[in-house]
């Protein structure tokens, strides 16, 4: 059964950043929080903890490693050793700490824009320098890693790469073939691959997610995975993530981390995470039905109501990457949507210069909210287009080379 999003009046009572950052006349379709109710097994586990006043420090890793290993085997086709799992506070912090163990100060780290904005901050926080190798698109408009560009960056001295798989904001799970080739390159140049796989459980039925550490011996030797239940089960505020290795080298990197890296995970986060991975499958299946239905709804509404806006339906997560480069909002789509339509989107420029004429829309909500938001944007964009036409001006074209960076569909 699909999991229905909560009604708007109930959502307005939430105090998290998605619903608390804007006044009530704004529809918030920006930060990656879903508007679905909490899965019952998770809610019950948290209520049980409160009933027993179990609010102290986290005791080691708790039940999370075994629960995650079971989830990975069932849902991702990935055999994980619980002994190779470590906890930390969140995925971004885990990425920083892994990078600190795999690069020297000043080393370059490859990122592949347009990509999750904190990647551009995580690298310098870990002591590195960002080396951008933008995504390519194939003949069908499908995103792809620029393996040639990545190899050149490795040859030039990059010592690590932050991989986003599935890729945010495009909702693209990288193919096994590309991941295998990436592992070969990393092994040849002594590079570590640190894979952010937080959106993996939200891969749609139209695609297959391949964990980086599962693809080959080379990947297991050079790679790390950092992930969490926070996106799939809406637990971001509870603060718990898992770091996974698959080699002695990886375990040594974990062992070299300060104890505080692990202590910062929260008791409630670990309790909720273990419940999600052990008992959340039925809820997750329903959530995915809702997400996939909403992805199709966005596709239809954009085609019908937002002429000039390009949208390629994602195959993971609940995020739409909208190309406004052919519209009157090309200069600042998110700013225009907020000011003129009272719809909050993520500005595309934060994902790299390739996203300057884009905005990211969160459709992890109800069909009614999606329809209202697109309707508002359609009316406002039509008005802006008419005003430009009357003034004799044309939309500013995007400076992004489509053949080199972003999907064309």
What would the DSSP string read from start to end of 279-329? H-HHHHHHHHHHHHHHHHHHHHHHHHH-TT-EE---SBSSEEEEE-TTSTT
Return the pLDDT at 394: 52
The phi, psi pair for 87, rounded to 5°, reads: -100, 150
Average pLDDT of the chain, as a whole number: 94
Task: Tell me the two tokens of residue 277.
Answer: 């991975």
CATH of the domain at 324: 3.90.1150.10
Q: Are residues 176 and 48 in the same domain?
A: yes
- Domain annotation covers residue 346: yes
Q: Is-contact 114 407, C-beta < 8 A?
A: no
pLDDT at 353 over 50: yes
* Residue where a domain terminates, one of 246, 279, 312: 279
pLDDT at 279 over 90: yes
Under DSSP, the state recorded for 163 is E
Q: Kindly indicate the confidence band of residue 409, based on its pLDDT and cuts at 50, 70 and 90.
A: very low
Map tokens 């909560």 to a residue. 6
Specify the pTM: 0.94
The tens digit of pLDDT for each residue in 143-163 reads 999 999 999 999 999 999 999
Q: Kindly indicate the confidence band of residue 39, based on its pLDDT and cuts at 50, 70 and 90.
A: very high
Q: Are residues 192 and 261 in the same domain?
A: yes
Q: Are residues 25 and 83 in the same domain?
A: no
Q: Are residues 166 and 315 in the same domain?
A: no
The tens digit of pLDDT for each residue in 304-320 reads 999 999 999 999 999 99
pLDDT at 73 over 80: yes
Return the pLDDT at 323: 97
Which H or E element spans position 188? helix 176-189
Q: Tell me the Cα Rg of the chain.
A: 21
Q: Which of 307, 294, 303 has the alpha carbon at shortest distance from 362?
A: 294
The mean pLDDT value for 78-107 works out to: 98
Q: Which of 318, 344, 269 has the alpha carbon at shortest distance from 18?
A: 344
| Domain count for the chain | 2
Task: Tell me the two tokens of residue 352.
Answer: 């790299």
Q: Kindly indicate the confidence band of residue 403, based on its pLDDT and cuts at 50, 70 and 90.
A: very low
Return the pLDDT at 140: 78
- Domain annotation covers residue 2: no
- Domain annotation covers residue 380: yes
Return the pLDDT at 393: 61
The tens digit of pLDDT for each residue in 362-391 reads 999 999 999 999 999 999 999 999 988 887
The mean pLDDT value for 241-255 works out to: 97
CA distances from 215 to 181, 210, 369 (A): 10, 7, 39
The mean pLDDT value for 162-188 works out to: 98
Q: Note down the domain range covering 216.
A: 41-279
Is residue 114 reached through a cis peptide bond, with omega within 30 degrees of 0 on the bond before it?
yes
The mean pLDDT value for 206-215 works out to: 98
CB within 8 Å of 92: residues ≥ 6 apart: 118, 122
Map tokens 């508007």 to a residue. 35
Q: Where are the alpha helices (DSSP H) in 21-103?
A: 40-51, 64-76, 91-102
- Domain annotation covers residue 1: no
Q: How many helices (H) and strands (E) does the chain have?
A: 16, 15
Q: Are residues 310 and 265 in the same domain?
A: no
Q: Are residues 264 and 343 in the same domain?
A: no
CATH of the domain at 103: 3.40.640.10
Under DSSP, the state recorded for 193 is E
Return the pLDDT at 398: 39
Q: Are residues 185 and 232 in the same domain?
A: yes
Map tokens 């419940």 to a residue. 275
Coil vs helix vs strand at 110: strand
Please give the distance of CA 232 from its chain centroid, rounded to a whole number: 10
- Domain annotation covers residue 409: no
- Domain annotation covers residue 321: yes
Q: Are residues 176 and 233 in the same domain?
A: yes
Q: Are residues 169 and 255 in the same domain?
A: yes
Return the pLDDT at 347: 98
Range 369-399 burial, b when 16+ CB lie within 10 A, else e:
bbeebbebbbebbeebbeeeeeeeeebeebe
What is the C-alpha separation between 124 and 122, in angstroms, rounded?
Answer: 6
The mean pLDDT value for 168-177 works out to: 98
- Domain annotation covers residue 3: no
* Residue where a domain terminates, one of 248, 279, 310: 279
Return the pLDDT at 392: 73
Q: Are residues 104 and 181 in the same domain?
A: yes
Return the pLDDT at 139: 73
The mean pLDDT value for 234-250 works out to: 97
What is the C-alpha separation between 356 and 104, in angstroms, rounded?
Answer: 32
- Domain annotation covers residue 17: yes
Q: Are residues 121 and 22 in the same domain?
A: no
* Residue where a domain terminates, one of 237, 254, 279: 279
Percent with pLDDT over 90 in the chain = 93
Q: Are residues 261 and 296 in the same domain?
A: no
pLDDT at 54 over 80: yes
């Amino acid at each position: 059964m699909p999991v229905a999003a909560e009604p708007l009046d109930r959502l307005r009572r939430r105090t998290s950043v998605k619903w608390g950052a804007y006044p009530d006349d704004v529809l918030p379709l920006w930060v990656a929080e879903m508007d679905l109710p909490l899965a019952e097994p998770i809610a019950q586990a948290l209520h049980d903890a409160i009933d027993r006043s179990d609010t102290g420090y986290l005791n080691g890793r708790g039940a999370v490693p075994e629960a995650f290993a079971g989830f990975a085997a069932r849902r991702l086709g990935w055999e994980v050793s619980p002994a190779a799992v470590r906890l930390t506070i969140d995925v971004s912090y885990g990425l920083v700490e892994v990078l600190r163990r795999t690069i020297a100060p000043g080393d370059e780290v490859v990122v592949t824009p347009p990509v999750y904005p904190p990647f551009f901050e995580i690298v310098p926080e870990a002591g590195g320098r960002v080396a951008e190798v933008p995504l390519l698109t194939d003949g069908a408009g499908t995103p792809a890693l620029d393996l040639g560009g990545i190899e050149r960056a490795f040859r030039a001295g990059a010592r690590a790469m932050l991989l986003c798989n599935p890729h945010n904001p495009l909702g693209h799970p990288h193919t096994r073939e590309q991941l295998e080739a990436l592992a070969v390159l990393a092994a040849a140049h002594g590079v570590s691959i640190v894979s952010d796989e937080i959106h993996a459980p939200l891969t749609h039925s139209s695609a297959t997610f391949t964990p980086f550490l599962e693809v080959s011996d080379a990947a297991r030797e050079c790679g790390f995975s950092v992930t969490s239940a926070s996106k799939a089960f809406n637990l971001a505020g509870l603060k718990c993530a898992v770091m996974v290795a698959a080699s002695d080298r990886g375990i040594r990197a974990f062992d070299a981390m300060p104890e505080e890296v692990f202590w910062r995970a929260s008791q409630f986060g670990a309790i909720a995470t273990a419940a999600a991975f052990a008992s959340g499958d039925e809820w997750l299946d329903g959530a995915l039905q809702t997400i996939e239905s909403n992805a199709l709804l966005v596709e239809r509404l954009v085609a019908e109501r937002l002429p000039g806006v390009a949208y390629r339906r994602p195959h993971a997560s609940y995020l739409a990457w909208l190309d406004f480069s052919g519209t009157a909002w090309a200069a600042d789509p998110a700013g225009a949507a907020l000011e003129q339509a009272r719809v909050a989107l993520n500005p595309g420029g934060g994902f790299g210069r390739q996203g300057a004429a884009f905005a990211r829309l969160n459709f992890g909500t109800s069909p009614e909210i999606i329809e209202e938001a697109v309707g508002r944007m359609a009316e406002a964009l039509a008005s802006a287009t008419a005003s430009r036409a009357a003034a004799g001006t044309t939309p500013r074209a995007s400076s992004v080379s489509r053949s080199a960076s972003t999907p064309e569909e």
